[in-house]
Each structure stands twice: as C-alpha cells, then as structure tokens.
Amino acid sequence: MKTSVVIPAYNSEQTILTAINSTRRQSRPPEEIIVVDDGSTDRTSGLVGREQLLWEKSYELSQPALRIIHMGRNCGVSAARNAGIKAATGELLVFLDSDDELHPDAIRLAEGIMEKEESDWCACSVKRVLEDQVEIKTAGRPPVNMKTTILRADPFRVPFFRKAALLQVGMYDASLRSREDWS
C-alpha cells in the first residue's frame, strides 16, 4: 500500500524538521512526505526547502519524496490538510502535526491493523514533546461505524486514513480553524 504523510505546518520552524525526520526513520517508510506550509511567517518554508534540496542531492532512492505546498496565506489546519489530501498520491494518508513525532513502527503497525480489521482508518498514540514536558496518550479501539465518525479522533492521536474514504466523506471542514478532527 502506497503511503503519504501529510504535515500541515504554520510557524513551525522549531519542530518541523523533527517531525519530518520521524517519518524518515520508519521501519516501513512512506513513499512521500508532503509539508503544507499554511502561510508561515517564520523560517518553516525555508527549512523544509533546504531539507528537500539536501534529500534530492543525496541520491538515496530509499528516501521518501519530500514535497512542500505553499498555501500563500494562513487558511487553518483543515484547509492545509485538504490541500495535502488533494496532492497526495498514496492510498493511505497519515496526518502528522508539525510538533509531533511518529513512533518508528507507526506506519507498519497502522497498515497491519487496517488490513486485519478491514478498516478505512485507525488512530495511533502520539508522543508530544513541548520544551521539557513529555506527554504520552494511548489510542483506544476505533468505533464500529467508522464511516460516520471517520474524522472524530482524539486530538493527541495521529490519524491514518484511506484516501478514498476521506474523499467519500468530503474531507475536513475548512471553516474550522482548530479542533478540525472533531467535526
């Protein structure tokens, strides 16, 4: 299954490279990483662009492709996620916040769960690191009727979705600028 990681980013210069690098360290790496710069006014875009050039010059075929999409102005995380959905070529989409990291086995484990459960989505725990504070949340079992609750996930979980299912339910509500995953 081809996997795309979508990372919406707004003024994320302190954390964006850590988020990107956590996707590179996957035991089952994604085929592409898409950073959606949501109108950042800091160095987020420049840092991602520099990282993209470094990856292209390294000629490592095993690395996932790194792409950046520029929103032009700050439209909110829902609009940024929707831009990532449209641009993604993967069948499985992973939404990683720019201040979070994926566990090294996250993609491999999520793919296995989704195949076993014949599910359109799952949510995995995230380790959130803010300055010197570390917070760990665990994921519960997804609800039985996933189609009606596909976008409802604990905000401290990394959601994994089949792209076809997101397109079927209409993606994220772009009018929501926060708590978009509770719509």
Q: What is the pLDDT of residues 33-89, one digit of tens each?
A: 999 999 999 999 999 998 888 877 766 666 788 999 999 999 999 999 999 999 999
pLDDT at position 149 is 41
For residue 51, being part of any structural domain is answered with: yes
Token digits for 120?
């359109």
For residue 57, being part of any structural domain is answered with: yes
For residue 183, being part of any structural domain is answered with: no
For residue 8, being part of any structural domain is answered with: yes
Mean pLDDT of the chain: 80
For residue 69, being part of any structural domain is answered with: yes
DSSP collapsed to 3 states, the chain: CCEEEEEEECCCCCCHHHHHHHHHCCCCCCCEEEEEECCCCCCHHHHHHHHHHHHHHHCCCCCCEEEEEECCCCCCHHHHHHHHHHHCCCCEEEECCCCEECCCCHHHHHHHHHHHHCCCEEEEEEEEEECCEEEEECCCCCCCCCCCCCCCCCCCEEEEEEHHHHHHHCCCCCCCCCCHHHC
Q: What is the pLDDT of residues 86-105, one digit of tens each?
A: 999 999 999 999 998 888 88
Per-residue pLDDT at 3 exceeds 90: yes
For residue 180, being part of any structural domain is answered with: no
Q: How many separate domains does the chain show?
A: 1
For residue 92, being part of any structural domain is answered with: yes
For residue 18, being part of any structural domain is answered with: yes
Domain residue limits at 36: 3-174
Q: What residues are paired with 94 via a beta bridge?
A: 5, 160
pTM of the model: 0.81
**2 in Cβ contact with 90 (< 8 Å):** yes
Domain of 10: which CATH number? 3.90.550.10
